[in-house]
Amino acid sequence: MSGHSKWATIKHKKGALDAKRGKIFTRLIKEIGIAAKNGGGDPDTNPRLRTAILAAKSENMPADNIKRAIQRGTGELPGATYEEFMLEGYGPGGVAILAEINTDNRNRTVSEIRHVFGKNNGNMAEAGAVSWMFHKKGDIVIPKSAAKEDDLMGIVLEAGGEDLRDDGENWEILTEPSAYEAVLEAVKKAGITPSSSSVSMIPQNYIKLEGQAATQMIRLLEALEEQDDVQNVHANFDIDQKLLEEVAG
């Protein structure tokens, strides 16, 4: 059971409902820019950029916005210079947290994130304190109502996927990052629509949270993700699906 995939699904639903389109676009534009800066502006030879463009298109970002983000990343157009790094910490119940940061002012961002942790029953940790608990994987979440296990397993294995997990109300497909696009495309070609999909940092194990600790954990995650310089947040918690929906609702 994975609070990680449940949270990803809840976030996707909330994003579709309250349409925080500006913040979503800002994060995607930053990711496209950094991907283009680090690996070049051609998605055919830059897997990270290809994945970022795929995510942008799934959020209906206009093609012109994507093009300009790439050009700013490669230096063809002027734009802010962003630095990317991870911040690590602990949440309620000892949950390990990784926050992916893209910022043009490292000192300001670190100070802001430290404040968010402290205000929400968490604390920052040194680099390397919790990152070893996570592996980078393609993560595709599919409602059980959308596919049968045997059918989905066949698609996943044939396309090069690594694992298919039963996550309560959902199936969770894990892949190596290099196989993510192929597996996602195979799933969609089969007429199956994921509730969320991304290349993410997946925990090796999970801490079950209940009651006040569960509520505090969701509040901390929401506060971190409200920060403009936070691209993604990953944590090794598990929370009952019904409680998660109530708290995050």
Annotated domain spans of the chain = 1-18+83-249, 19-74
pLDDT at 228: 86
Alpha carbon distance 124, 137 (integer Å): 24
pLDDT at 245: 65
Which are the contacts of 227, defined by CB distance < 8 A and separation ≥ 6?
109, 112, 113, 116
Mean pLDDT by 10 residues, the chain (249 residues): 56 50 81 92 92 88 93 87 92 94 93 96 95 93 90 92 86 92 92 88 89 90 89 87 64
Q: What is the CATH number of domain 19-74?
A: 1.10.10.200
Alpha carbon distance 92, 115 (integer Å): 15
pLDDT at 108: 95
The pTM of the full predicted model, rounded to 2 decimals, is: 0.79
pLDDT at 6: 59
pLDDT at 5: 58
Report the CATH architecture of 1-18+83-249: 2-Layer Sandwich (3.30)
Domain 1-18+83-249 and domain 19-74, same fold? Reply is: no
pLDDT at 83: 87
Contact (CB, 8 A) for 187 and 173? yes
Alpha carbon distance 31, 193 (integer Å): 24
For residue 233, which of 83, 139, 115, 98 has the smallest C-alpha distance?
A: 98
> For residue 138, which phi and psi values (nearest 5 degrees)?
-75, 135
**Side by side, which strands form the sheet with 83-90?**
123-125, 83-90, 96-103, 230-235
Task: Give me the residue label for tokens 């970002």.
Answer: 61
- Looking from the CA of 187 toward its CB, the CA atoms found within 13 Å total 33
